[in-house]
Amino acid sequence: MELISPTDLAKEKVLTVQDYVLFCFQTVANLFRKPLYFADMIQQADTIGVGSLPIVVLTGFFTGAVLALQASNTLERFGSITLVGQLVSTSMVRELGPVLTSLMVAGRNSSGMASELGSMVVTEQIDAMRALGTDPMKKLVTPRMVATVFMLFFLAIISDLVGLVGGLAIAKLLLRLDARQYWANAWETLVFQDIFMGLIKPVIFGFIIATIGCFYGMNARGGTQGVGRATTQAMVAASVLILAMDLIVTRFLMATLSYH
């Protein structure tokens, strides 16, 4: 294996970040340039959104259920087991709903976009598209970004709701709590800041998922091996970036929305 000097490695990483930022800028700028590919956006929304629905529902349900189960153990010690609904709803809406949904969608779609676009690059289909007078950034990247941002927003809401249902199932069947009390607790505890935080995150994470997947796909080099590498890198980079962004966004929103 060829050894790379730390300086070259650092330069390479900085260059990749620079290229990614320019790529994101161009993706957004294309929203204001004709043509806009609405049909492609709808097709991608179906693939990304409707296609991801089963895994998002399953993830949300089991996360809510296990959250209720884990919380019950601690709350019982303080005689506050009735607060399970509050804990599940704030955790799901503020954090676990958006983050876990995004991670699942990243696993499914970021890698999918990287492999699809990467295959198009190595088989010269991207060059053919440019030769036929179409900008691949407009035709392939921007519709995927719009579709992912739009659909992840709704997928996160569905995940929150299904998570609460998962928590309810545990609360009712195992903890023998009253369902109405669970729902009342879960609903009343939510404030504007919780919902705002829970809705802004999927928008940011959706942008990361699509742009990272497309970026690695469009920069795939070296045949099928390169496509495989791009797929793995896209999935890893999107997941890590989502978790890192989650911390930054949470801290920023807690400071700006005057959380107590």
Partner 1 sequence: MSAPTLPLDSATVPTHDISAPVIVFEDVKMSFGDNEVLRGVSFHLPRGETKAVFGVAGSGKSLMLKLALGLIRPDSGRIVALGEDVTQMPEERLFELRGKIGMVFQESALFDSLTVRENVAYRLMEEHGIYDENIDRRVREALRFVELEHTLDLNPSELSGGMRRRVAIARAIITQPELLLYDSPTGGLDPVTSNTIIELIVKQRDVNKTSALLVTHRLQDAFTMATHQFDKQNNRMVALPPGQHCDVPMSFLVLRDGKVIFDGDLHSLANSEDEYIQEYIS
Is 9 strand, coil or helix? helix
Closest CB to partner 1 among residues 95, 135: 135
Cβ proximity to partner 1: between 37 and 183 the closer is 37
| Spatial separation of the C-alpha atoms in residues 161 and 189, rounded to whole Å | 15
| Residue with smaller CB distance to partner 1, 13 or 130 | 130
With respect to partner 1, which residue has the nearer C-beta, 131 or 255? 131
> Smallest gap, in angstroms, from Cβ of residue 182 to partner 1?
47
Angle in degrees, 0-180, between the axes of helices 142-173 and 6-29, rounded to the nearest 10: 90
Q: How far is the CB of 1 from partner 1 (least distance, A)?
A: 19
CB nearer to partner 1: give 120 or 212.
120
5 Cβ neighbours under 8 A, 6+ residues apart: none
Closest C-alpha among 254, 252, 158, 171 to residue 202: 158
Contacts of 217 (CB under 8 A, 6+ apart): 113, 114, 115, 116, 117, 118, 120, 121, 230, 234
**Residues that bind partner 1 in the complex, under the rule CB under 8 A:** 35, 120, 123-125, 127-135
Min dist. Cβ of residue 212 to partner 1 (A)? 22
First and final C-alpha spacing in the chain = 53
In the complex, what is the shortest distance from the CB of residue 129 to partner 1, in angstroms, rounded to a whole number?
8
Distance in angstroms (rounded) separating the CA atoms of residues 72 and 31: 47
CB of 126 to partner 1, least distance (A): 9
